[in-house]
Amino acid sequence: MTPMAIPTPPADRLLDPGPDLTDLVDRLVQPELAHRRLYTDPGLFELEMTRLFGPSWAYLAHDSEVPDAGDFVLRRLGRRQVLVVRGRDGVVRGLLNRCTHRGTTLVTEDRGCAKRFTCPYHGWGFDLDGRLAGLPVPDSYDRLHERPFDLGQVVLEDHRGFWFGTLAAEPMPLADWLGPALPWLDAHIDRHPGGKLKVLPTPVKQDYAGNWKLAWDNAADGLHATFAHRSYNLLGKQAETQTVLARNPAHTPMISRTLGHGHCVVDQRPGIPQGAWATMRPMPTCEALAASLTERAPDRRDWLDLATGNMVNLSLFPNLIFVGNQMMVVEPLAVDRSRLHFFLVLAEAAPEEVNLMRLRVDEDFVSFGTPDDLAMFERVQQGLAVPEEEWIDISRGDGAGDAIDDHGLVTGDIATEAPIRAYLAEWKRLMARPVPTRIRRSRVEAAVTRSRHAKEA
Ligand code: FES
Ligand SMILES: [Fe+2]
């Protein structure tokens, strides 16, 4: 008897072949208003997981987290678990943490080093490059060669060690997606001697009972710190500075700028010509470390500034926010549940004191300031439960003080809500229509996509 052909799953597919939602998203996000459903509607959240996370680029990992062959970190692209792993050939790949047999996750640890990934359910083994490399009981699997059982891959592309991933069938080059945010990212990298950053792969994690976009609304909100972080300000007399903690941040030289594709930046440096170090308040061991540095190199004031936050908050929509020296990754869990990951970053080529001080500085705001933010996010989520109050106001700065360049990019004082309006415009663009996504399966296909983008960049 001739065996039936095994059907091959289609390579190109729309996960969400649903309707064109242009009208709906236009109604939900109006020029100076956003509807509460953006934060409370489980259906919209599900769409975000396929229309936004997946088709768009999103940050996954830094090269320094996987220095050697077999090193991996487990990350998320929306709800998809992605193993960012360095292969024996030195190439970093984004493998879906999903066995191609019946779907089991291969890895549960946040990070580690592996020779191969073996599924705990029926023992299928996968090589570091995703290839199906071994079946413990191979009998009766004689048709496997007809179907691609290598692990699925997302397209990865890096900018100077920062790895981003996408599942778009035809992704735009990473450099285009970064666009005007690219020089800001470069400036952040170049702040570190030799351009060398070391991202520690053990983030502090903080959960809150609210929608993931609340963290995004807050990313460039230069107004809230004066009020929401009042206790932190009093602790360090930060209100005396011209930073985001000033009494009236809208009346300082600091700027807020939108950078396209939902990205934005808040630059506090014009408010502190005396340098970042001047904003430091006393912290355990920092005085001794600063004294040691100053004694060794009295003219290296820049080392002290390097130990301090860089006073630039760069946000790359939809999931990466540089907060001072740290990197904050926003992970959506459910429509009303989110997780923030705070990664500590060291300047690899700087003196040891600089990095020890960075550890102190980094734990400071996360401990004494971030809880204020999370409390606000949860209270907003609770307030948005009132169905009859449908709208939130995002009008501040619009048409009153904001400057708009020929490309539509906005510069304003740091209390403007232009960054919220800008990322919601990108949200609308992505949510309006489904975009084809595609899992890369073979090593060759993923490599071809990578090199094509390298050339285009
Ligand atoms: S589900 Fe992985 S081997 Fe069966
Ligand atoms: Fe805050």
Predicted pLDDT of residue 246? 62
Rounded Cα–Cα distance for residues 92 and 67 (Å) = 10
Q: Which atom of ligand 1 is nearest to the CA of 102?
A: 1
Q: Which atom of ligand 1 is nearest to the CA of 119?
A: 2
Task: Kindly list the protein residues whose Cβ atom lies closer than 6 A to any atom of ligand 1.
Answer: 99, 101-102, 104, 119, 121-124
Q: Which atom of ligand 1 is nearest to the CA of 103?
A: 1
For ligand 1, atom 4: residue with the closest CA: 122
Where does the pLDDT of residue 309 fall: very low under 50, low under 70, confident under 90, or very high at 90 and above? Answer: confident
Ligand 1 centre to CA of 112 (Å) is: 21
Ligand 2 centre to CA of 229 (Å) is: 7
> Looking at the CA of 103, which ligand is closest?
1
C-beta of residue 179 within 8 angstroms of C-beta of residue 264? no
Ligand 1 centre to CA of 11 (Å) is: 21
Nearest to 113 by CA among 164, 76, 73: 73
Predicted pLDDT of residue 226? 85
Pocket test for ligand 1, best of 107, 116, 117, 119 (most atoms within 8 A of CB): 119
Ligand 2 centre to CA of 72 (Å) is: 32
Tokens, residue 433? 């229509």
Ligand 2 centre to CA of 427 (Å) is: 22
Predicted pLDDT of residue 222? 87
Domains detected in the chain: 53-173+436-452 (2.102.10.10), 178-432 (3.90.380.10)
* Residues linked to residue 314 through DSSP beta bridges, in sequence order: 265, 322
Where does the pLDDT of residue 72 fall: very low under 50, low under 70, confident under 90, or very high at 90 and above? Answer: very high
Pocket test for ligand 1, best of 118, 121, 144 (most atoms within 8 A of CB): 121
Ligand 2 centre to CA of 224 (Å) is: 6
Residue 2, pLDDT > 90, answer no
Predicted pLDDT of residue 77? 97
Pocket test for ligand 1, best of 102, 105, 141, 149 (most atoms within 8 A of CB): 102
Dump pLDDT digits (tens) for 375-423: 999 999 999 999 999 999 999 987 777 888 988 899 988 889 999 999 9
Task: Report the range of poorest mean pLDDT among 25-34, 201-210, 289-298.
Answer: 289-298
Sign of CA dihedral 252, 275, 218, 377: negative
Percent of the chain with pLDDT over 90: 65
Q: Which atom of ligand 1 is nearest to the CA of 122?
A: 3
Residue 286, pLDDT > 50, answer yes
Rounded Cα–Cα distance for residues 79 and 331 (Å) = 9
**155 SS3 class:** strand
Ligand 1 centre to CA of 7 (Å) is: 19
C-beta of residue 27 within 8 angstroms of C-beta of residue 35? yes
Task: Report the range of poorest mean pLDDT among 52-66, 382-396, 433-447.
Answer: 433-447
How many CB atoms within 10 Å of residue 434?
19
Q: Which atom of ligand 1 is nearest to the CA of 123?
A: 3
Percent of the chain with pLDDT over 70: 89
Mean pLDDT of 271-277: 82
Pocket test for ligand 1, best of 106, 124, 141 (most atoms within 8 A of CB): 124
Where does the pLDDT of residue 15 fall: very low under 50, low under 70, confident under 90, or very high at 90 and above? Answer: low
Ligand 2 centre to CA of 345 (Å) is: 20
Peptide bond into 318 cis (omega under 30): yes
pTM of the model: 0.92
Rounded Cα–Cα distance for residues 384 and 368 (Å) = 26
Dump pLDDT digits (tens) for 207-258: 999 999 999 999 989 889 889 998 888 776 654 555 666 667 677 788 899 9
Ligand 1 centre to CA of 89 (Å) is: 26
For ligand 1, atom 3: residue with the closest CA: 122
> Looking at the CA of 370, which ligand is closest?
2
> Looking at the CA of 100, which ligand is closest?
1
For ligand 1, atom 1: residue with the closest CA: 102
SS (HEC) of 71-124: EEEEEEECCEEEEEEECCCCCEEEEECCCCCCCCCCCCCCEEECCCEECCCCCC
Rounded Cα–Cα distance for residues 237 and 305 (Å) = 19
